[in-house]
Chain A
Amino acid sequence: MKDFPYSESKDTRSGFGAGLLELGRTNPNVVALCADLVGSLKMGDFIKEFPERFFQVGIAEANMIGIAAGMTIGGKIPFTGTFANFSTGRVYDQIRQSVAYSGKNVKICASHAGLTLGEDGATHQILEDIGMMKMLPHMTVINPCDFNQTKAATIAIADYEGPVYLRFGRPVVPNFTPADQKFEIGKALMLNEGKDVTILATGHLVWKAILAGKLLEEQGIDAEIINIHTIKPLDTEAILASVRKTGCVVTAEEHNYMGGLGESVARVLAQQLPTPQEFVAVQDTFGESGTPEQLMEKYGLNEQSIVDAAKRAIARKQ
């Protein structure tokens, strides 16, 4: 099992803030909008340096999405910022009509996704956003795993013409992605090659998958770990190549199993390579208040859950 050294743990939302600041300096068409959460979204540095390119919308997310869509018509590249819940469920119809169906170059940047938002509870812990966004034609869905990858993804999506949903979160997690690693939309990242089971993880579950890989190694299981930072378009080639080798798969995500990465992978495998698959995901429930660690344990989203799922998947191999 490869080692993944890191010097510090940081939050992915700060990676977004750092990426946005860099974009401000390099791309004059980038503008930012926020619905009264600039601190939470780490947009402060951008606002300080580019006040004329920042638009405070107030607590009016529907309006924010519409304004962003309109700005693209003049050639601007708007990055909207609010919590994942208010970035998706609250404004689904606005995104559907004014952004996705209209093919507008809006970057919907969503923080505090999933259970790791923590104590605020289920009203704010959206676990359905990946599903909602991936169902929209034209939409790209990205869920990076750490600070460096979120920063790189933020920068990369400005160069891509089309609507993007960028999902990140609140907790600090090990920042192990090399700072100079280029972000390629739709290209899965091989983290550790193995032969017994494929673990496909996204977002905060990528680090959990690495921890699980080490635990599995101690038990003599050689896990292949792949970071699926882009859920749509899905890197089916990389997934199929891995599963052909290992013969079973675990998907891991901070999301309801309905509509998430797991179902996207299952569709590909069902059509092209039927394979035993286990899902590490929330089991169609809402979350609740608690610390991020407590919640990830209670809802089965930690390294031990991945280890258990890997063993179940291996046991199901013919």
Chain B
Amino acid sequence: MNPFNYDADQLLNVAHQVRRDIVRMVHAVNSGHPGGSLGCTEFLVTLYFRQMTHDPAFNMNGIGEDLFFLSNGHISPVWYSVLARAGYFDPKELATFRKLNSRLQGHPATEEGLPGIRIASGSLGQGPSVAIGAAQAKKLNNDNSLVYVLTGDGELEEGQIWEAAMYAPHHKVDNLIWTVDYNGQQIDGPVDAVMSLGNLRAKFEAFGWKVLNCDNGNNFASLIPVLDEAKSLSGQGQPICILMNTQMGYGVDFMMGSHKWHGVAPNDAQLEQALVQLKETLNDY
């Protein structure tokens, strides 16, 4: 059972605030990754405020809880904001993002003990393997909860990704839901220009995954049914993959649909321009 169980309107309300948090956090330290963070806002908000059984009191072992792993750790701003808004820590702490002596490292880490983080990520391609391990440990523990992992699409260029993709179906890791943030952008440009992914659905299917498509991961009406379906398909002998179409930078007009805001922070004027588009719904930190 999710501790919030929000409907689409309530989720949208949270998403507005999370987007404000994201642009304010990266602006404050003139660094960080707003593009992918904004693009995955609906996804993370839905997981934590509707989909997952989880406890903001946070236990590292997560027994009886659904677990989430962020493999593309550079979109830490969205995760930190969602964790704070879900009650894992005080939203005021978002002001320490990327600063010295903070628990909110540039990329997620366990070293400083930030509640909600179970493994470090940032060096790409490692999250699916970790999620598989956590999922198999759940099976050994007779724990029926699920494991979610998010990767980027450019991240799929890493070799370890396909080691994990091969392993999970072979070992019938069917309590695992792997979502790909399919925004088509990476640092050096469009993914298809840097290293084309080909028919991604066919690739995952060929490896033995049950593949779902989410037409618009920035729209709760599109996203929620897919996440519900993914959950309903768990426990049937196949791992589940969601190819989630999103727009990098979604919600801030001048950041949308381009790779240029992958890892660039807005200046003062751009921050103001962004904030007028994003309603303050839960009080700024």
> Interface on A for B, CB 8 Å cutoff?
31, 52-53, 55, 57-58, 60, 62-76, 78, 93-94, 96-98, 101-104
Interface status of B131 (Cβ within 8 A of chain A): yes
Chain A proximity mask over B260-278: 1 for CB below 8 Å, otherwise 0 = 0000000000000000000
Q: Are B166 and A67 in contact (CB under 8 A)?
A: no
Instruction: Enumerate 10 A-B pairs (CB-CB under 8 Å) in ascending A order.
Output: A57-B167, A62-B129, A62-B159, A66-B133, A66-B164, A69-B130, A70-B132, A71-B133, A74-B137, A74-B143
Residue B171 is within 8 A (CB to CB) of chain A in the complex: yes
A74–B137 alpha-carbon span in the complex (Å): 5
Q: Establish whether residues B119 and A70, one from each chain, have CB atoms under 8 Å apart when the complex forms.
A: yes
CB closest residue in chain A, given B123: A97
Q: What is the CA–CA distance of A7 and B170 in the complex, to the nearest angstrom? A: 45
**Would you call B186 an interface residue if the criterion is a C-beta within 8 Å of the partner chain's C-beta atoms?**
no
Q: How close is A148's CB to chain B, nearest CB, in angstroms?
A: 30
Q: Which of B103-141 contact A (CB under 8 A)?
A: 109-111, 118-123, 125-138, 140-141
Q: Which of B126-181 contact A (CB under 8 A)?
A: 126-138, 140-141, 143, 159-160, 163-164, 166-167, 170-171
**Contacts A73-B119, A98-B119 known; A68 to B133 CB distance under 8 Å?**
yes
Closest to B110 in A: A102
- Cβ of A96: which chain B residues have Cβ within 8 Å of it? 123
Distance of B160 from chain A, by nearest CB (Å):
4
B208 located at the interface, meaning its Cβ lies under 8 Å from any Cβ of chain A in the complex: no
A75 / chain B contacts, CB cutoff of 8 Å: 61, 63, 137, 141
The answer to whether B237 has its CB under 8 Å from any CB of chain A is no
Report yes or no: A103 in contact with B126, Cβ–Cβ below 8 A: no
C-alpha gap A58/B134 in the complex (Å): 18
How many residue pairs, one in A and one in B, have C-beta atoms under 8 Å apart?
118
Interface size on B, residues (CB 8 A): 40
- Beyond A73-B137, A75-B137, whether A67 also contacts B111 by CB under 8 A is no
- C-alpha spacing A253/B103, complex, angstroms: 40
B189 at the interface (CB under 8 A from A): no
In whole angstroms, how far apart are the Cα atoms of A94 and B136 in the complex?
A: 19
* B120 adjacent to A97 (CB under 8 Å): yes
Distance of B97 from chain A, by nearest CB (Å) = 19
Binary CB contact string for chain B from 8 to 31 against chain A (1 if under 8 A, 0 otherwise): 000000000000000000000000
Cα distance A63–B133 in the bound complex, in angstroms: 9
Which residues on B sit within 8 Å (CB–CB) of A74?
61-63, 134, 137-138, 140-141, 143
**Beyond A73-B133, A75-B61, A102-B120, is A53–B159 a contact (Cβ under 8 Å)?**
no
**Known A63-B160, A70-B130, A97-B126; 15 more pairs at CB < 8 Å:** A53-B140, A57-B167, A62-B129, A62-B163, A66-B133, A67-B130, A68-B133, A70-B129, A70-B137, A75-B137, A76-B137, A96-B123, A98-B130, A101-B109, A102-B119
With A55-B136, A103-B110 known as contacts, the answer to whether A67 contacts B122 (CB < 8 A) is no
When A and B form their complex, which 6 residue pairs have the shortest distance between CB atoms, in order from nearest? A70-B133, A66-B129, A74-B137, A63-B163, A60-B163, A67-B133
